[in-house]
Each structure stands twice: as C-alpha cells, then as structure tokens.
Structure 1
Amino acid sequence: MATEDCVETAELQLPRSRMANERLHALIPGGAHTYAKGDDQYPENLAPVISHGRGAHVWDIDGNRYIEYGSGLRSVSLGHAHPRVIEAVRRELDRGSNFVRPSIVEVEAAERFLATVPTADMVKFAKNGSDATTAAVRLARAATGRPRVAICADHPFLSVDDWFIGTTPMSAGVPAATKELTVTFPYGDLAATEELLTRYHDEIACLILEPATHTEPPPGYLAGLRELADRHGCVLIFDEMITGFRWSEAGAQGLYGVVPDLSTFGKALGNGFAVSALAGRRDLIERGGLRHSGDRVFLLSTTHGAETHSLAAAMAVQATYVEEGVTARLHALGERLAAGVRDAAAGMGVGDHIVVRGRASNLVFATLDENLQPSQEYRTLFLRRLLAGGVLAPSFVVSSALSDADIDRTVEVVAQACAVYRKALDAADPTPWLAGRPVKPVFRRLA
C-alpha cells in the first residue's frame, strides 16, 4: 500500500506551532511546564500551541479551532473564560492580590470550601496538588511517628516530590534511602493491603490513593480501607484532585460516604486558576497551626498560596457547581459522548480496539492493537485523525461548556478516525499512517 493512499483527509499543517515548539524547547526543559502537555504526547509535528480559548473551544497560533477535551489537564471543567469565574477574579484584582497579612477573602474561601466539603474540619490552600499531597504525607508521619508511605500502585500520579516520583521510571535524583520509604498496594485488594500493613507493622504512616479512577471502587472497598487504617493506626488520605467536583461537589468521599482523615483537592477547584486545598480532621491539620501543644509541623507556607483572585475563582466555581448542577451536566455530557464513541467504533469494526473507560465525567480511551494490547502507535494514528478533524483530545474528559453539537461533531470525527484505524488493523501495521514517531508515555527513563 502506498503511503499516499493512507491519507484519508487533508493533513493538518501547523508551521507556526512547529516554530513555537522549537522556541519552547530552547528555553524550557521539555518544551512545556507540565510533562503531560509536552509535544512528545502528540503526533510528530502535530502539537498545536494555543493562542486562546473560549468555552469548550481553543484556537492555535496557526488559526485552527478545536473542540477541546481534558482542558487544563482536567482543571477547566466549566470551560475557558467562564463569565462568573472571570468576574470574580477581576473584582479581586482591582482590590489587590497579595498582602502582608491574611485577606478576609481567605476566611470566606475557607468557609465556602468547608460548607461544600462538610466531611472536613479545616482547610489550607496552596497552588498545586503536589504541595497539598506532600503536606498530607508530612502530617501523617508527624502524627504517627512512622516513616513509610503506602501509595496505590495503580494510580499514575500523586506528587512531583521524592516520596512518589522515586517509584516511577523518572526517579533520577531521588536517593535510594528515600525510595525505600515508599511501598505500594494494589487498588481494590483489601487482603493485599492488610498483608502490607502487617508486614510493615507500626512502620506505615499513611495509605494514600485516589478513591476512584477509570473504574468504580469495588463494593465495600473504601470502607474496608477506612477500617484497615483505623485498625493499623495509620492515616487514610484521599487524593481528590480529579474526583473533587467531577464525582460530586464534595468529591468521592461525598459520593461514596467514606470519610478520610485527610484529603486534597485541586484542578476543577479553580477552573484553571492556581489553587489547591488540603482538608481534613482538625486534630491532624492543627499540627501545622498554633493552637496545640505538640511539635510544630511545617505544613504549607506559600507566598502565593492565598492570592485573592485564585480564592475568588474557587468560590465562584463552588457556587456555580452547586447552583447550576454542573456535576450532573458533566455526567450527562460524558454519557452522550461515551455512547456515541462506542457506537462509532463498533460501526467501523473497531469496538474492541478503541475502548472508552471511566466515570462519565472523567472519560479516558485506550487504543489497542490487533492483539488487543495497548499501543502507542495506534494512539498516534487515532490522535492524528482527531486533530485533522478539529478535535483536541488526549482524553475524553468533558467540560460543562460543551454543547450537544460539539459532542455530535466529535462523534463524527471519531467515526472518520475509526475507519482509518480499521484499515491499519487490517494491514496489521499502523506505521504508514503515523507520519513520524509514535507518541510516548510521560513516565519513561530516557528522553
């Protein structure tokens, strides 16, 4: 088969984005400030550099418009430049954003957050999720006097800090002694987790995990973890960076009714503005405060952690979710999209190869080869066809700004991509459709 016969639609050309990517790599390690946004995550020469966004659409600097999914790595759940959020931010910017003493906005934001997440007693704000999860781990170690951290082995990311990154293929720079202090347990397996806690008796400070991901927790699983943590004297930490708001306004703990000792929120909390939160039991979090008699814990102390405009954004987001039923809308949009993609894939004979997974508000897709194994090559093919059709979708995570027309257009583009996918499967070789190197996993040892 000649290569030119493989081109099913006009190829997307991104000359300005290509030049901008070269500038990015010359000045910024990895060409982006987040590895998941790197151009290695996209087909070669098809990594658009964004000019601006509005609602569920973004425009690249070459003038192309895309329907966007997974916006801001799942953080922009209301859509770009949401009017209610922007107005709240603009109002605070005119009043000053950072002072030598706390702003009244800080207590208002704390009150709003704790009303939204009533399972927590106290909250402290920061700028990113890693700071919040690391602060939770430090609190657990201080409270228990134990050194080890137990992380869920099935969850892809918990922190940039050594206690987690040391467990990934990108562990360069992490001392071996630090790596040895982190152990892992499998998601959904209470027996294996209890065996781990027994093996490291009185050594494990905490169990930290995302309470749900692309699969629902097995019946009784989260309650079982709660019981195990209590029985073995360790702290239960829920990383709700993704599940917060997308599962319910109060996160997975609000949906499933299991209360962790500590939890961390971010992403959707600010609709793209930099804000995260550590929340939980008063007796634990107060160890980072001034009203206790024990050793002080250096918890979270960040110059920009309580910038008024970011906290105003968070309050506007929470009000919008509660008053407008955003979580329900995300689920409805996701269900419509998932059904459409599955029907399109099945109709083109690739229903077993393009697999949509996850809760409707947090959909991801898997691309499988002719042997039904995960394939970066087939992912590359799929992404190329989506981009050519004006769909920017490293995942299928929806925002509430999507319209039914956006979903319908996405399904049309998916169907076109599936037709090409079927041809590649029939050839048992996707290479002619890649036009370059395949996309790469974020966590790998060598560049």
Structure 2
Amino acid sequence: MDTEVLDLPLSRTANERLHAMIPGGAHTYAKGDDQYPENLAPVISHGSGAHVWDVDGNRYIEYGSGLRSVSLGHAHPRVIEAVRRELDRGSNFVRPSIVEVEAAERFLATVPTAEMVKFAKNGSDATSAAVRLARAATGRSRVALCSDHPFFSVDDWFIGTTPMSAGIPAATTDLIASFPYGDLAATEEMLNRHPDDIACLILEPATHTEPPPGYLAGLRDLADRHGCVLIFDEMITGFRWSEAGAQGLYGVVPDLSTFGKALGNGFAVSALAGRRDLMERGGLRDSGDRDRVFLLSTTHGAETHSLAAAMAVQTTYVEEGITARLHVLGERLAAGVRDAAAAMGVGDHVVVRGRASNLVFATLDENLQPSQQYRTLFLRRLLAGGVLAPSFVVSSALDDEDIDRTVDVVAQACAVYRKALDAADPTPWLAGRAVKPVFRRLA
C-alpha cells in the first residue's frame, strides 16, 4: 500500500479557523476544502507565476489558478506595474475617472463585436444584468438557460435551478426554461413550447466541447426568429479562446455578452458588453418613453487599479500572443497526460477533455462511470507530487519543465489508479472521505 507523503498541519489549523468564521470555510464554494481529499486542502500563503506555496511551506505547480482567472500567472509584472501606478493616484472617486474611458475604449477595440461596455466586479452581476436587460427589452419574463453548462450566477434566477435552491421562491424558478447544448431542434421545440415568452437564450458558447458546425449561427437565427435576446457568457471563453472571445473565434455575434475571469488576471473586474440599442436602455440617452433599466450600478465597479489591470491584460494578450501560448502549453500537457495514462493502463479512466487552453479531466471507475472516489485518489497523488490541479487549465506562466514534471506526477498517480481498479475498490487509497460536488442539497 502506498503511504501518504504530504502532511499539512498548518493548513488544517487554518482551515479550522476559516470554518469558524466564514460559512463554508471559503468565499467561493469551488474553493471549499470539501473539493479536496480529507486533510489535504492546502491554504495558500503566496504565489508567483505558475507556482503557489501553502502555509506549510510546500510548493505546487498550480492549474486552474483563481478559478481560471489568473491566466498570465500570479503577480504578472505588466499587470502589477499598471496596478501600482494607479494606486498612487487614487482608486475611487465621486465622478468617473479618465481610466474608465480608456478601459472602455481598450475593451471595445479588443472585442469589436460589442458596441458598448459596462464594468462590474464579478460575473454574476454581469450575467444578471444581461438577463434583466433582455427581459426589459422584450417585455417577456421567462429565461432559457443552457442546461449543460454548470454555472451562470449566484442570483436567484440561476441558483434556484440547482440542488442548492433553499431560500429561493418557486415563483422565481417557474420563470426558467432550459435547452441542451448543441441541439438546435430541442431548442426550437422549447421556444415553440413557450411562444412569445422567452426573453433570452443564455449559454457559454463553448466549454469542454467545441460547438457543432453551424450551431452558434443556428442559435443566432432562432433568437432572431423568436424575438429573444442571445447572450453569450464568455467568463471562461473570453481571452482563452481568442482575444475577442469565442464570438471572435467562431464569428457569431450575440446581442449581449459577459466577460470576467481572465479579464483582470485575478483582480476583480467583469464586463457586460453588447448592442448599443440594448445597452442604452440602462443609460441616460435612450430616446422615447421606454422605462429605464437599472442595469449595473456598483460602488467599486470602476476602481482604477482593476481597470488598469484589465487594460494591461489585454495589451499582454495581444502583444505577446498569450492565447496561442495557452494552446501550445495545453496541447503539450494533454498529450503527456494521455500518454502517461495509457502507459499505466488507465487511458480509458483518466480522461482529458476540452480545448487546449481550458483542459479538464474526468476520473472514471471500473465501469467507466464518473467517480468522486477515484477523483479523490487522483488528487491525493497529484498533491503528494507537488501538483495542485482541480483541473488542467493552464496559465501562460507555465514552462515545459512544469508540464513535464506534471506528467511525471500524473504517471505516478495513474500507477496507483491502476492498482485501485484491479482491486475494484479505491477505498484503501483514499485515507478519508471522498471529495464532493459543489452543488448538493445537504452539507
């Protein structure tokens, strides 16, 4: 039996302190210690580039940094320099700063499919504002969201559709419809089932699968024919797919789109962008006698240092070819992991999926079904090898040595995985409870 080589006493103490004061022990459920093997949830001290150190002094190669937000690596010099420059000039004023003008101009030059943009601090505010705008513009109440995409907002209209729906009135979720990704016929059937009642279609334009040929263009056509607003949630695809997002890569223009995560390289900034005639419904220059929309109004939405970070990120992506680098790194990692898994006889069980710039992995049991127990086993071995990887989402700060080291650790993990499969029972290798899904009804 393999023995555990990683001990995290200071992290365990820190996790106890976190749970004593913070519900869930973290400010984001996806960062909770239930997402990690028991007693192996590192509490981070600091990070630099593609590496982080926990409070116990262990160094890790990190993937999925900041829930995919830190795509340039921690403390990226160009971003930090831009932020520091603004901090000395003040960060929040009683009137708009000139930085807001510059940031909007930069964003719209980078994402030319949009005509106006409004900045906020998190993705949920941006997606909820898009939904509100669509409802106001169409005079309809029902929202259709893609059922195959895991997360859109912390607000009631989405969370009410998850197993964690406590506290959300049924009347809210009664106004939600859904459609499957990649299936135009099913989407049209849903639209016909709610004639003149769907305010918008909201989806991620791509995730771990590429859109089928003609799919996004087909959605564009359906939205036009049924009079609803097409919203692309580009929180993940923005910048990772192309500097102009998935809409720029695939050439399909939504009515509204939302960006975040990679936009600030870890600094809090998100964006709602889209057609001028829709966006102006939340402005001061809308013509006619239509009711105004309370679109986005956040005290900290235009903090100068976060907008400076966003501009530095966009400049870095364009000037340094970051999107292409993410794909090269991801392709090297995906090929290495697949080869290592195959060599250890678990190629059908440890599966890498997704676009090279946004890789995830699946852990399947002896019946090729998704398994939280086997995920726990796999994560334990990665952590023991100095790899912190809830996903295999790369940052541009990784180098070939990091990738090769990761593949070596994966190979070691796959050797243990094979032993567990042969035993048809991973329990002896878990040393505690299995990791848990984020969305579940009971704690």
Q: If the TM-score is normalised by the length of the shorter chain, which range does it land in? A: over 0.9
- Is the contact made by 1:9 and 1:388 (CA closer than 8 Å) also made in structure 2? no
Could you say what secondary structure the match of 2:117 adopts?
A: strand
**Is 1:116 aligned to 2:98, yes or no?**
no
CA distance in 1, matches of 2:351, 2:79: 34
In structure 1, distance between residues paired with 2:99 and 2:277: 24
Shift of 1:293: 3.1
> Do the aligned partners of 2:326 and 2:394 also contact (CA within 8 Å) in 1?
yes
Where 1:246 maps in the other structure, the secondary structure is coil
SS in 2 for 1:244: coil
Confirm or deny: 8 A CA contact 1:162 1:178 kept in the other structure.
Answer: yes
- Assess if the C-alpha contact under 8 Å between 2:146 and 2:181 holds in 1: yes
- SS of the counterpart of 2:4? coil
Q: Alpha-carbon deviations, 1:8-45, whole Å to 9, x = none?
A: 35521000000000000000000000000000000000
Distance 1:183 1:126, change over 3 A: same
Aligned counterpart for 1:429 among listed residues 417, 425, 429: 425
Q: 1:365 maps to which residue? A: 361
Q: CA RMSD in A?
A: 0.6
Alpha-carbon contact 1:209-1:238 (below 8 Å) kept: yes
Secondary structure of the 2:153 match is: coil
Tell whether the 8 Å contact from 2:18 to 2:26 is kept in structure 1 after alignment.
yes
1:405 aligns to 2:423 (yes or no): no
- SS of corresponding position for 1:245: coil
- CA shift for structure 1 position 216: 0.2
Distance in 1 (CA, whole Å) between partners of 2:208 and 2:3 is 32
Question: For 1:396-424, what per-residue CA distance to the aligned partner results, in whole angstroms no more than 9, with x for missing partners?
Answer: 00000001000000000000000000000
Q: Distance in 2 between matches of 1:232 and 1:283?
A: 18
Output the CA distance in 2 between the equivalents of 1:253 and 1:307.
Answer: 27
Structure 1 counterpart of 2:374:
378
Q: CA deviation at 1:104?
A: 0.1
Q: d(CA) in 2 for partners of 1:8 and 1:81?
A: 36
Q: Deviations over 1:335-372 (max 9, x none)?
A: 00000000000000000000000000000000000000
Distance 1:23 1:350 in 2: 39
Structure 2: state its 5+ residue gaps: none
Q: Match for residue 324 of structure 2? A: 328
> Does the 8 Å CA contact 1:288/1:296 hold for their aligned counterparts?
yes
Comparing 229-238 and 8-17, the one that deviates more:
8-17
- Matched residue, 2:94: 100
Q: In the alignment, is the contact (CA less than 8 A) between 2:2 and 2:429 conserved in 1?
A: no
Q: Deviations over 1:114-172 (max 9, x none)?
A: 00000000000000000000000000000000000000000000000011001100000
Q: Match for residue 202 of structure 1?
A: 196
Q: Is contact 1:264–1:277 with CA below 8 Å preserved after alignment?
A: yes
Helix, strand or coil for the counterpart of 1:211? coil
| d(CA) in 1 for partners of 2:106, 2:165 | 38
8 Å CA contact retained: 1:114, 1:123: yes
Q: What is the CA–CA distance in structure 2 between the aligned matches of 1:404 and 1:8, rounded to whole Å?
A: 28
Show CA shifts across 1:279-307 (max 9, x none): 00000000000001351100000000000
**TM-score normalized by the length of structure 2:** 0.99
Identical residues among aligned pairs (%): 91
What secondary structure sits across from 2:239 in the alignment? Answer: helix
Q: Distance in 2 between matches of 1:209 and 1:164?
A: 12
Pick aligned residue for 2:388 from 370, 380, 392: 392
Per-residue CA shift, 1:57-103, capped at 9, x if unaligned?
A: 00000000000000000000000000000000000000000000000
Output one character per residue of 1:319-348: Cα deviation in whole Å (capped at 9) or x when no partner: 000000000000000000000000000000
State the alpha-carbon separation in 2 of the partners of residues 377 and 446 from structure 1: 18
Aligned residues between the structures: 441
Deviation at 1:313, TM superposition (A): 0.1
**TM-score normalised according to structure 1 size:** 0.98
The question of whether the paired residues in 1 share the 8 Å contact of 2:341 and 2:350 is answered with: yes
CA offsets, 1:191-243, max 9 Å, x none?
00001111100000000000000000000000000000000000000000000
Distance 1:198 1:278 in 2: 29
Partner of 1:250: 244
Write out per-residue CA displacement over residues 255-300 of structure 1, whole angstroms, 9 at most, x where no aligned residue. Answer: 0000000000000000000000000000000000000135110000
Return the alpha-carbon distance in structure 2 between the equivalents of residues 247 and 39 of structure 1.
30
Partners of 2:431 and 2:86 in 1: CA distance:
48
- Which digits, 9 at most, give the CA deviation of each residue in 1:172-198, with x for residues without a partner? 011000010011000000000001111
Cα distance in 2 for partners of 1:424, 1:9 equals: 14
Indicate if the aligned counterparts of 2:229 and 2:255 stay in contact, CA closer than 8 A. yes
Cα distance in 1, alignment partners of residues 204 and 391 from structure 2:
18
